[in-house]
Amino acid sequence: MGHYLLRRFVQAIIVLWGATVLAFGVMFVGGNPTMLMVSPNWTKSEVLAFQTEMGFNKPWWQQYLHFLAGVLHGNFGVSLMQQQPVLQLVLQRMPATAELAGAALLIAIILALPAGVLSASRRNSGIDVFSSVGALFGQSIPSFWLGLMLLLVFSVDLGWFPVQGMGGISHLVLPAVTLCTFPLALFTRLTRSSVLEVLAQDYIKTARAKGLSSRVVLYKHALRNAFIPVMTVIGLNLGFLLGGVVVIEQVFDWPGVGLLALNAIEEKDFPLVVGVVTVAAIVFVTVNLVVDLLYGVLDPRIHYA
């Protein structure tokens, strides 16, 4: 167990290092980032002063090392537009994103797992066909279009829910439903295929040959093994959702990390953009590490060697 944890921790560090390189390198894709951040009416002396203040007059690798040293000490820089620490701004917005992502993920899990199991246990039935078609539709529909349609129907026409913003449960319903559509479809299809694969295993056939009922075989012997790949995908999607649901937060004006990142891009606030990407990478890697460690809980036969 200790060796496995050490290896996974080292892998996580390497992934995070790669994410910081990519995030920091974005500023230099178009050349000197100074010219992208300053206003056209600035004087040459003002531009040079800004360049010196930001450290853009130094070689890029020195700038990266300075940035990396700051990250290791919890210093992600200062937002150019808001003049506040980047980490503080991101942490202020993180609860809103976590609330939205958590609600969407919870809805997806509650609906997808029973739907996938029922679809697999009644293969080729009307329920299976309906579930498969619905899952395919959920994965195909653009989330921004679905969000706009839900707003048009349930907020503008019917007036059942607020149009935008964050508040009570009523503000959360439409964005959470919109955000859960794709993972709901994905989890349903994956649960169905995983359960079908497990039901074809020899030990399941043996259990049935012993006279066990289909319900006992399914719920006692099949589901635990079938949920392992499903849990992996759930962990991956949680990481993606917490990383910032940019489109949904923009459509519903939800004050989360995604909307913060979008505004930072529009305002050319590169220190804030880099900070958001770095924090999102940290969240994503941490969630996946936790999911890896949960495998042994679901299946005691798994040993971390």
> Rounded distance, CA 167 to CA 148, Å?
19
Please indicate, yes or no, whether residues 58 and 100 belong to a single structural domain of this protein. no
Whether the predicted pLDDT of 55 surpasses 80 = no
Please indicate, yes or no, whether residues 110 and 35 belong to a single structural domain of this protein. no
Buried b (16+ CB within 10 A) or exposed e, 83-122: eebbbebbeebbebbbbbbebbbebbbeebbebbbbbbbe
Please indicate, yes or no, whether residues 134 and 257 belong to a single structural domain of this protein. yes
In-domain check, residue 87? no
> Rounded distance, CA 100 to CA 107, Å?
11
Single pTM value for the model: 0.76
Please indicate, yes or no, whether residues 37 and 119 belong to a single structural domain of this protein. no
In-domain check, residue 271? no
CB burial of residue 31 (10 Å; 0-12, 13-18, 19+): exposed
> Rounded distance, CA 199 to CA 13, Å?
38
Q: With contact defined as beta carbons under 8 Å apart, do 100 and 256 qualify?
A: yes
Please indicate, yes or no, whether residues 147 and 218 belong to a single structural domain of this protein. yes
Please indicate, yes or no, whether residues 102 and 200 belong to a single structural domain of this protein. yes
Please indicate, yes or no, whether residues 42 and 140 belong to a single structural domain of this protein. no
In-domain check, residue 262? yes
Total domains, the chain = 2
In-domain check, residue 113? yes
- Considering only CA atoms, which of 232, 259, 233, 235 is closest in space to residue 97? 259
Rg over CA atoms, the chain: 24
In eight-state DSSP terms, residue 154 is: I
Please indicate, yes or no, whether residues 103 and 66 belong to a single structural domain of this protein. no
Q: Give residue-wise pLDDT tens across range 233-281.
A: 877 777 667 655 778 888 888 888 888 888 888 777 778 888 888 888 8
Q: Give residue-wise pLDDT tens across range 60-85.
A: 777 788 888 888 888 877 887 787 88
In-domain check, residue 32? yes
Query: Residue range 46-69: average pLDDT?
Result: 76
Query: Residue range 125-136: average pLDDT?
Result: 81
- Band (pLDDT 50/70/90 cuts) for residue 3 is confident
Q: What CATH number is associated with residue 143?
A: 1.10.3720.10
Domain that holds residue 164: 94-266
Please indicate, yes or no, whether residues 46 and 159 belong to a single structural domain of this protein. no
In-domain check, residue 160? yes
Please indicate, yes or no, whether residues 64 and 143 belong to a single structural domain of this protein. no
> Rounded distance, CA 95 to CA 144, Å?
22
Q: With contact defined as beta carbons under 8 Å apart, do 191 and 120 qualify?
A: yes
Whether the predicted pLDDT of 305 surpasses 60 = no
Last residue of one domain, picked from the residues 72, 104, 125 = 72
Last residue of one domain, picked from the residues 72, 102, 134 = 72
Please indicate, yes or no, whether residues 35 and 142 belong to a single structural domain of this protein. no
Which is higher by pLDDT, 245 or 162? 162
In-domain check, residue 174? yes
In-domain check, residue 103? yes
HSE, CB side, 13 Å, CA atoms: give it for residue 251.
22
Q: What is the mean pLDDT of the chain?
A: 78
Which is higher by pLDDT, 180 or 216? 180
Tally of residues, the chain: 305
Please indicate, yes or no, whether residues 152 and 197 belong to a single structural domain of this protein. yes
Whether the predicted pLDDT of 195 surpasses 70 = yes
